[in-house]
Amino acid sequence: MTRISGDGPLSTGRIARLFDILAGIIEPRSELDYQDHFELLVAVVLSAQTTDRAVNRAMARIREQIAITPDALARLGEDGLRPLIADLGLYRAKARHVSALAAIIANQHDGQVPADRAALEALPGVGPKTASVILNIAFQVPTIAVDTHVHRVANRTGIASTRRPDATQTVLERRVPARHRLHAHHYLILHGRYTCTARRPRCDECPISRYCWWVHPA
């Protein structure tokens, strides 16, 4: 096997079998509560350094006050949004970003979330990871968003050997079999959230342990 910089020691065959197993047992879905593309965008921006459960509670509070649309959130403004999300990490910056991106989408994109990476990343609070999530979930683009779970699982299993999330994304988009690329980040996120946890990974219950380099380094 020819190794490229950033590739982990896991062979192409073992990677394929690993994803075949995950695809058979994990429903590829976001655990954020959203009703349309714009709500998804708002939820993902709010989710930085915050649990999905906390974001879902915040989204419910916003819905009690207004319809979550670009026009309504732009009218609510930063000052109106801030107390509704005050229990989230970085809530002041998030209120600023969400109210600003709502105004931009309302005024420059006819109220529609853009399906273009450059346009998404031009929005306040939207970086490459958030753009990848939106493109993948909302528009079915087979890109892979790398959060801490994905980064950990990719490196622990031996798919990647990287230090930075952007490098991990490059490796995954090259090494994950094409048939699994659309849902790969959901498989890895959910596996990392519930089985391959940062502390005390449940290797004895892990369905892919036979292919994991950390468990079987050979």
Catalytic residue list:
129, 147
Nearest to 52 by CA among 64, 41, 62, 43: 43
CA dist., res. 163 & res. 117, Å (int): 24
Count of H-run helices and E-run strands, the chain: 10, 0
Rounded to an integer, what distance in angstroms lies between the CA atom of residue 143 and that of residue 39?
20
8-state DSSP, 211: G
What is the C-alpha to C-alpha distance for residues 176 and 190, in angstroms, rounded to an integer? 16
